[in-house]
Chain A
Amino acid sequence: QKEVEQNSGPLSVPEGAIASLNCTYSDRVSQSFFWYRQYSGKSPELIMSIYSNGDKEDGRFTAQLNKASQYVSLLIRDSQPSDSATYLCAVKRGGYSTLTFGKGTMLLVSP
């Protein structure tokens, strides 16, 4: 059974700090990894995708992937109150397959 695990949180960080969100997955053949952000009452929106081991940076966001450890993370530098949301990790196998989502981690950034 494919599983994606995230700490439900909430993860509380002060404004300006680095927020670190973690995700582990059970399916070793997973090939594509995504982070979605979901504000309260809104639908998820993609913020990062990563396909290769290592780091991928986009502005204040950095996704990190370690396939050997089956671990993917999202770092948010200089966290802002507007980053307060639930962050969903999603994983996809190769071939004909669909995304498997984790249950999400709630992030609270306090001013």
Chain B
Amino acid sequence: DVKVTQSSRYLVKRTGEKVFLECVQDMDHENMFWYRQDPGLGLRLIYFSYDVKMKEKGDIPEGYSVSREKKERFSLILESASTNQTSMYLCASSSGGPNSGANVLTFGAGSRLTVL
């Protein structure tokens, strides 16, 4: 009954590596989001997408990029991983247009990334 699937639960990468985090949802949702969650800082929005091939910067986009080639898939890319990107990364999706008041998020299980 998994609806938002993140491809990797745990990753360990080295500084400077290119990192891909994949997220797939099977609910036909229009909207997809990438957050990172750190102790004491809460959930912070990195990027989001309201439609295929569309992307918008969130609150902390620096050092990240995204790709949404298909409606169900939203990828987060760390072009050159750094130690300060060690974090829990959460993907989420929601239905409705971007001005929908509902926007109930369904989260994936998360990907814990450690950059050495």
Which A residues contact B (CB, under 8 angstroms)? 31-32, 34, 36, 42-46, 49, 51, 88, 90, 92, 94-99, 101-104
| B108-A98 in contact (CB<8A) | no
Offer 29 A-B interface pairs, CB within 8 angstroms, sorted by A. Answer: A31-B101, A32-B101, A32-B102, A34-B104, A42-B109, A43-B90, A43-B109, A44-B43, A44-B105, A45-B107, A46-B104, A46-B105, A46-B106, A88-B42, A92-B101, A94-B101, A96-B98, A96-B99, A97-B99, A98-B33, A98-B45, A98-B48, A98-B58, A98-B103, A99-B103, A99-B105, A101-B42, A102-B42, A103-B41
**Residues of chain B whose beta carbon lies under 8 Å from any beta carbon of chain A:** 33, 40-43, 45, 48, 58, 90, 98-99, 101-110
Separation of A88 and B35 alpha carbons in the complex (Å): 14
Contact A92 B40 (CB under 8 A): no
In angstroms, how far is the closest chain B Cβ from the Cβ of A29?
12
A43 & B102 in contact (Cβ 8 Å cutoff): no
Closest 5 CB pairs of A and B: A103-B42, A43-B107, A101-B43, A32-B101, A96-B98
Q: Find chain B residues with CB under 8 A from A96 CB.
A: 98-99
CB-CB under 8 A from B106, the residues of chain A are 46
Additional A-B contact list (18), CB under 8 Å, known A43-B110, A46-B106, A95-B99 = A31-B101, A32-B103, A34-B104, A43-B107, A44-B90, A45-B107, A49-B102, A92-B103, A94-B99, A96-B99, A98-B48, A98-B58, A99-B45, A99-B103, A99-B105, A103-B40, A103-B42, A104-B42
